[in-house]
Structure 1
Amino acid sequence: MAEAARQAPGRGLPPVHLWNPAHCGEIDIVICADGVWMHEGSPIGRAELVRLFSTVLRKDPDGYHLVTPVEKLKIAVEDLPFRAVAVREAGDALVFTTDQGDEAGAGPDHALVVDTDPATGEPAPRVHVRGDLWARITRPVFYELVERAVEQDGRLVVRSGGLAFPLGPQGAGL
């Protein structure tokens, strides 16, 4: 629970990692690649409800689920469940804020990874949020990271939490 409280200061998160309810099936909820949560083909309009759902989201080996102490419902996620929509410096850390209000300071417990999209060749940056949940770093936030980056061994890197995270090769469209 201490980890959950640290992840969402002032709110705390339910200990979904401790819950092991029976699988109850699927629910027609999709988290779209743009961060919109859909239910039965329509956007969920209440931000408070989306935030609540986000706090009981867990990724298991068979996919993403909304989990309570008594039920577990599978949902669909097009890309990653969260989007990192802001970044700020706090001490020696880069702290990312997600579209659902979670914060993750890049460092030993929260990796910052930049893959390359195989279809487009573009960077596909992400940051670890909690459990096995990640946030896609939005393009404006990634540009902020590139502005903060330094060259190291032919690669652009940012430092956070005592670690260096590579963003990609220098001059590769970054």
Structure 2
Amino acid sequence: MTELEVAAQLRQINQGAPLCDEAPLFHIDSQGRWFYRGESLPDKFCRLFATILHLKPEGYLLMTPVETVRVEVAEFPFIINDYEEEEDGQFTLTSSIDTQFQVASRDAFVVDEAAISVSLARGLSAKLGRACYYRFIEQYLLNVDGDAK
């Protein structure tokens, strides 16, 4: 079975899962910290739940074949604390909860006045943390004289 076939089957399974509760049980704050019913979650659980987090038209959801749970997200679900540009131009991003993401190129990053963000799989996005934000600007947006490219 190919990866596309497996992904199609998973999408089909997840589409029928009922919503557990209208109220969000999970919250991700503006610093990328995860909470369950107001209590902080250990990173190992955050990483686990991050694998099933989706952004759908009805909002952020944790989706399993059995149930769907709402997640309230203050700003972005992930804060990027480090990135590495590969020789082929792809980027490996590491989040504040130590999850890793791959993006195809520098074109995946969106620079605006408020933040530098990047689109991820399953409709999700991430924001560069403060250190990465300034590093990205210095590496890719300024010339050697410190002026905008």
The question of a shared fold, defined as TM-score above 0.5 by the shorter chain, is answered with yes
TM-score normalised per structure 1:
0.68
Runs of 4+ aligned residues of structure 1 deviating over 3 Å after TM superposition are: 15-18
SS in 2 for 1:149: helix
Instruction: Kindly state the Cα deviation for residue 147 of structure 1 after the two structures are TM-superposed.
Output: 1.9
Aligned residues: 138
Task: Name the counterpart of 2:148.
Answer: 170
Task: Name the counterpart of 2:71.
Answer: 75
Q: Cα 1:144–1:17, aligned 2, differ >3 Å: closer, same or farther?
A: farther
Q: State the alpha-carbon separation in 2 of the partners of residues 85 and 69 from structure 1.
A: 31
1:125 and 2:122 are equivalent in the alignment: no
CA RMSD of aligned residues (A): 2.8
Question: Which of residues 19, 34, 37 is equivalent to 2:34?
Answer: 37
Task: Name the counterpart of 2:43.
Answer: 47
Residue 102 of structure 2 aligns to which amino acid in structure 1? A
Instruction: Kindly state the Cα deviation for residue 17 of structure 1 after the two structures are TM-superposed.
Output: 4.0
Task: Name the counterpart of 1:113.
Answer: 110
The 5 Å alignment of 1:143-158 reads 143-149=134-140
Answer whether contact 1:94 1:105 (CA < 8 A) is retained: yes
Q: State the alpha-carbon separation in 1 of the partners of residues 31 and 108 from structure 2.
A: 21
Residue 104 of structure 1 aligns to which amino acid in structure 2? Q
Instruction: Kindly state the Cα deviation for residue 65 of structure 1 after the two structures are TM-superposed.
Output: 0.6
Instruction: Kindly state the Cα deviation for residue 150 of structure 1 after the two structures are TM-superposed.
Output: 5.1
Q: Cα 1:38–1:149, aligned 2, differ >3 Å: closer, same or farther?
A: same
Task: Name the counterpart of 1:102.
Answer: 100
Task: Name the counterpart of 1:134.
Answer: 125
Q: State the alpha-carbon separation in 2 of the partners of residues 50 and 70 from structure 1.
A: 19
* Higher mean C-alpha deviation, range 60-69 or range 143-152: 143-152
Task: Name the counterpart of 2:56.
Answer: 60
Identity of aligned pairs, percent?
Answer: 25
Answer whether contact 2:141 2:148 (CA < 8 A) is retained: no
Answer whether contact 1:89 1:95 (CA < 8 A) is retained: yes
Question: Which of residues 90, 93, 96 is equivalent to 2:86?
Answer: 90
- Give the unaligned 5+ runs of structure 1: 4-12, 118-123, 157-168
Q: Where is the strand percentage greater, Structure 1 or Structure 2?
A: 1
Q: Where is the helix percentage greater, Structure 1 or Structure 2?
A: 2
Instruction: Kindly state the Cα deviation for residue 80 of structure 1 after the two structures are TM-superposed.
Output: 0.7
Q: State the alpha-carbon separation in 1 of the partners of residues 40 and 121 from structure 2.
A: 25
TM-score normalised per structure 2:
0.78
Q: State the alpha-carbon separation in 2 of the partners of residues 2 and 143 from structure 1.
A: 37
